[in-house]
């Protein structure tokens, strides 16, 4: 099979011929139809995660995918060859930017009939991150005010919709070029980060921070007493920066089959839109990495096989 692999941090990805992976206990081998790009993919390739996660090289990046189960390992009874699925790869193993990959059976959900593989592939990490942050950690309810940073990005574009679905009044930060896109997802208020200072706002019940750094510190001032700042593990954060009258919580992202299935069901029902804005051929995958790294991608980027 062909797979994109990192051979040396900071160097170009290589398209290699590799042996077909054999599923171990609790795993399924999937023929990949589409795989999404997440910031963690280019950060891994660039060596920016070496202090946190430094797998043995060469390594196939990629977390999300959709495709067809081709084989299952010992102990897997819920999946069989021919099943159409979407799922998330284990960080400890080779990923999904290949023609075939291994997925933990516990991180796989059935792809609804009629849902394109590219849409199903884009849900995993970004959609589950937004779901955990707003539904499980912040416990957003109707009427609360939510600020979502980087609303045009992968996580942000799902978070706006989930917040709206929960009945929240959603405000987001984005560029002027992406303002209408964010409004189309359900943002009631849009802040142009280039010309407006979000930190002049007040009274938010929840802030979702996917950026970290100075944005994290300045986000604390916009929360009302008793509010919640949720930050994602990939965003840099100074634990010393807090307020006594608010809750600061790190969202631990676990892409379980149940969470992925919930999001797939919402998509099938028409209550959640998968914002796949860019589709790139598998042979041109490095361009997808470059686009994600630029920070100017809108919605999700998907590599299609």
Domain boundaries, the chain: 2-122+274-304, 126-251
Backbone angles phi, psi at 159, to 5 degrees: -65, -40
The pLDDT confidence band at residue 12, using thresholds 50, 70 and 90, is very high
The pLDDT assigned to 237 comes to: 62
**Distance of alpha carbon 302 from alpha carbon 192, whole angstroms:** 26
Peptide bond preceding 58 in cis form (omega within 30 of 0): yes
- The three-state secondary structure class of 46 is helix
Which CATH architecture is the domain 2-122+274-304 placed in? Answer: Alpha-Beta Complex (3.90)
Q: Which two tokens stand for residue 93?
A: 């193993």
pLDDT at 63: 97
Lowest-confidence range among 31-35, 41-45, 77-81, 164-168?
A: 41-45
pLDDT tens for 243-275 read 889 999 989 899 999 999 999 999 999 999 999
Q: What is the pTM of this model?
A: 0.94
Is there a shared CATH topology between the 2-122+274-304 domain and the 126-251 domain?
no
> CATH second-level architecture of 126-251?
3-Layer(aba) Sandwich (3.40)
Q: In the Cβ-directed half-sphere of 264, how many Cα atoms lie within 13 Å?
A: 28
Determine contact, residues 120/175, Cβ cutoff 8 Å. no
Q: Return all residues near 247 (Cβ < 8 A) that are at least 6 apart.
A: 226, 227, 228, 229
């Amino acid at each position: 099979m062909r797979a994109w692999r990192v051979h040396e941090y900071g160097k170009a990805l290589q398209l290699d011929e590799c042996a077909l992976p054999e599923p171990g206990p609790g795993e399924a081998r999937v023929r990949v139809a589409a795989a999404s790009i997440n910031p963690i993919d280019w950060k891994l390739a660039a060596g920016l995660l070496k202090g946190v996660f430094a797998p043995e090289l060469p390594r196939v990046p990629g977390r999300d995918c959709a495709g067809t189960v081709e084989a299952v390992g010992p102990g897997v009874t819920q999946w069989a060859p021919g099943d159409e699925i979407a799922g998330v790869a284990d960080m400890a193993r080779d990923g999904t930017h290949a023609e075939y990959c291994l997925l933990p059976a516990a991180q796989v959900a059935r792809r609804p009939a009629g849902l394109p593989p590219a849409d199903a592939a884009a849900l995993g990490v970004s959609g589950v991150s937004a779901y955990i942050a707003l539904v499980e950690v912040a416990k957003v309810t109707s009427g609360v005010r939510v600020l979502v940073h980087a609303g045009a990005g992968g996580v942000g574009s799902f978070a706006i919709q989930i917040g709206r679905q929960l009945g929240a009044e959603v405000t987001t930060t984005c560029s002027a070029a992406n303002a209408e896109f964010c409004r189309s997802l359900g943002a009631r208020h849009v802040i142009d980060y280039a010309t407006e200072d979000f930190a002049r706002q007040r009274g938010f019940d929840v802030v979702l921070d996917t950026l970290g750094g100075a944005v994290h510190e300045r986000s604390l001032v916009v929360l009302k007493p008793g509010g919640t700042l949720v930050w994602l593990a990939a965003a840099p954060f100074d634990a010393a920066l807090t307020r006594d009258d608010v809750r600061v919580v790190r969202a631990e992202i676990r892409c379980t089959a149940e969470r992925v299935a919930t999001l797939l069901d919402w998509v099938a029902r028409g209550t959640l839109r998968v914002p796949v804005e860019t589709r790139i051929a598998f042979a041109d995958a490095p361009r997808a990495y470059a686009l994600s790294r630029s920070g100017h991608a809108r919605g999700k980027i998907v590599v299609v096989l």
